[in-house]
Structure 1
């Protein structure tokens, strides 16, 4: 009887072991989330693309390859597909409800910019879009990220935002409440690929962690790195501020996978369904 009980417990434990730690951490297949797609064993990493863009692929548990797919907020729940070495592989996108946030901005130009500012915004958006689309060969050093600042989470990812009563793009990152001047640390090792002082984002740093996994930190009061710097995990890249369109000091942190902005809370174990 005892042997039968042990056998049942062992069988119940098998799916968790088979799934692997990274899969359990990251597999949150909702709009704005991450899908982990099992690719099975192979001698070399399979080539995977989603919506025409290359996807992060890693070896999990030294047994099989997995694709870590960023799902844009615009994707509808249902069946989606990646291309694995040119062949379709399906996964399911579940639904998720995102709440609203209403913000009052004193500077009307940051709600309805004039033509000059719109031209600047378009130039800056194109520059940042190119950064998000980079795909380097390096493997990410870690996928369980450290929090970039010590502070409570404030505005979550995916909020439907209304500025002075007018709807704008959903919140594409995760905000941390922190005092101005608080050091901001890299959640994983990476290369600084873009630095700027932008109309909406203020002082901004982009860090490439590898294979399309990119962090963006904005509203900084100071930038402490230069373009091309190699940052270790925990390396200080700047300080919290309130530059750009911000109502007070905080850190806004974006995480992007295959050029899709996804919920950073997934990578720090703080995701809420």
Structure 2
């Protein structure tokens, strides 16, 4: 692709033919806060292992074509500038091959949302605050759990069949006049009871009712990728269930901290908060 960045691996110990054959390609070559990209390593189809990182965050590779690929996430609050990436390959002869480079991260202008909510949903008493902290910790622990298999295949599906394109990712929220954490998902306006479908194949990692998200479902798509579905009226799946792309997993509601019926749809790559709208746009391998 025209926007792809093709970089030759710098391998001091490898023979010349290996140096010429092996390459690393980023798509796109310039990313923004909240973006999701793909990195391709090609030229060594018999490699025994491929690993890497971007800005110190691990990349989890899977076989693809004549090489390997990985999703790379840029957190919505990532520092703009140049981020260092590295890739390490163990070839068929147990020779370690290494490469590194830099990827440009650009700042992204996010909207500002001003909301007015009941005081008890914003100024939390001690027991509620403890509950919220425990629930947040459980979610962070979940996102750090890496399933080694890739369950997702191909493009991701929109989770609700409504014209609304979703809005609010990265919004700097001011609630009752006080700045709060940025909004880490897309909000889809939909009537209560509207079916919600899984964006891709995976396993149900969590069904719960939490203070802020309300009734929720989290899908584990493997290799550190999770999608989240908040404020549900009900969940139609249980922990551990296998889910296919487009399968109904629940219904739109207004549970938790919500001003009305809608779906909050979010995506995490490990603990990195990525824009789910961009995940839906990716042309991903089957």
Which residue in the other structure is 2:153 paired with? Answer: 142
Q: Give the conservation status (yes or no) of the 8 Å contact 1:37–1:91.
A: no
Instruction: Note the C-alpha offset of 1:186.
Output: 0.7
Tell which has more relative contact order, 1 or 2 (C-alpha 8 A, sep 6+).
1
- TM normalised by structure 1 equals 0.84
Any unmatched runs of 5+ in structure 1?
1-13
Alpha-carbon distance between aligned partners in 2 of 1:191 and 1:53, rounded to the nearest angstrom: 24
1:154-193 paired onto structure 2 within 5 Å:
154-193=166-205
Q: Structure 2 residue aligned with 1:111, among 103, 112, 122?
A: 122
Q: Give the conservation status (yes or no) of the 8 Å contact 2:83–2:104.
A: yes
Cα deviation per residue 1:105-144 (whole Å; 9 max; x = unaligned)? 1x21221211111100011001111111121111243252
Any unmatched runs of 5+ in structure 2?
7-24, 89-97
Higher strand share: 2
Which residue in the other structure is 1:72 paired with? Answer: 75
Which residue in the other structure is 1:210 paired with? Answer: 222
| Residues 1:98 and 2:110 are matched in the alignment | yes
Instruction: Note the C-alpha offset of 1:65.
Output: 2.6
Q: Give the conservation status (yes or no) of the 8 Å contact 2:159–2:199.
A: yes
Instruction: Note the C-alpha offset of 1:52.
Output: 4.6
Q: Which is worse superposed, 206-215 or 135-144?
A: 135-144
1:42-57 paired onto structure 2 within 5 Å:
42=44, 43-44=46-47, 45-57=49-61
| Residues 1:241 and 2:253 are matched in the alignment | yes
Count of matched residue positions in the alignment of Structure 1 and Structure 2: 252
Instruction: Note the C-alpha offset of 1:257.
Output: 1.0
Q: Structure 2 residue aligned with 1:133, among 141, 144, 160?
A: 144
Higher helix share: 1
Alpha-carbon distance between aligned partners in 2 of 1:18 and 1:244, rounded to the nearest angstrom: 43
- TM normalised by structure 2 equals 0.80
Paired residue secondary structure (2:50): coil
